[in-house]
Amino acid sequence: MAESLKQQTQYRELYIPQIAEIKQAKQLTKLERWFEIELPGGNDLGHEPGQFVQVSLFGIGEAPISVTSSPTKKGTFELCVRNVGMLTKVLHGYEAGSKLGIRGPFGNGFDVDHFKGKDILIVGGGIGIVPLRSLINYVIDNQSDYGRLIILYGAKHPDELLFKDELKTWVQSPKIECHITVDQPSPDWNGHAGVITTLIPELKLNLQNTITTVVGPPIMYKFVLMALKAKHIPEENIYVSLERRMKCGVGKCGHCQINHSYVCQDGPVYHYPEIKDLPEAI
């Protein structure tokens, strides 16, 4: 009987959404909207940087969304959602007070304990900054445990840059090295212009002591990884996060399977040496 109750509890945690409430909502760009969400009773989500949740809109469907807030944020958590389909289009119409379902957190996040004592190099492209922001703010809130924090962030156009207020704070902070670039600068853009790989050659790094995390659109990985290897960053110091259609979140449906690996469980964060020989992955 005790085992049966335990199994029922695990079933509920895996498959039955919690009814959560949106506390704040804000449009960040034309396509991205930010949400602050509270679980029942103000409970913490209990996630690791890099994990995701399954968001349910009842009568519409369910979709995987990366958590963008740090685990150090208590009482609520944050999502940043790109409007790319029916569910996300409906969600973009939600305001404070709206209810939605949350399952998770799911997946494999960044191993922040393994990263301790290391310099952290963040390489984010486009919406890839969303899960990386969770890691960035975690490191900032525990900066005595880590070495240098170096952030490289690129977008196609200045209007597509996310979290602009935080970007200004990171750029101005004496404890953070933040470099921002855009592919297509506007007339009033005063920053760096070019793809994100153009930021890598000039970095001064302690190669053996630098952990590198890479998240961005699929086309970015090939060229960023080439640039990191040209910089002689060891492969064993590189971590990537992959995006796949994670339908169930618990390794049952097979939608996210890459050869022998289920992204919803073994990922989305992978140690690069583990997947570098899987052509379907990167």
**Which of 106, 141, 157 corresponds to the end of one domain?**
106
**Mean pLDDT, to the nearest integer, of 235-262?**
81
Return the residue matching tokens 């969770």: 134
Range of the domain at 76: 2-106
Q: Residue 219: which residues within 8 A CB-CB, separation 6 or more?
A: none
**Residue 4, class by beta-carbon neighbours within 10 Å (0-12 exposed, 13-18 middle, 19+ buried)?**
exposed
Same domain, 163 and 224: yes
Instruction: Identify each DSSP E strand in 3-98 by its residue range.
Output: 18-27, 32-38, 52-57, 61-66, 77-82
Largest CA distance in the chain: 69
Q: Please tell me the number of Cα atoms within 13 Å of 278 on its side-chain side.
A: 17
How many residues belong to the chain? 282
- Nearest C-alpha neighbor of 244 from the set 104, 106, 141, 144: 106
Choose between 58 and 77: higher pLDDT: 77
Confidence class of residue 7 from pLDDT cuts 50, 70 and 90? very low
How many angstroms separate the CA atoms of 254 and 241, rounded?
18
Residues 160 and 208 in one domain: yes
Is 277 among the domain residues? no
> Would you tell me how many other CB atoms lie within 10 Å of the CB of residue 210?
21
Q: What digits encode the pLDDT tens for the residues 145-184?
A: 999 999 999 999 999 999 999 999 999 999 999 999 999 9
The CATH number given to whatever domain includes residue 8 is: 2.40.30.10
Q: What is the rounded average pLDDT for all residues in the chain? A: 92
pLDDT in tens, 92-139: 999 999 999 999 999 999 999 999 999 999 999 999 999 999 999 999
Domain containing 165 — which CATH number?
3.40.50.80
Assign 10 a pLDDT band (cuts: 50, 70, 90). low
Q: What is the phi/psi pair of residue 131, to 5°?
A: -70, -30
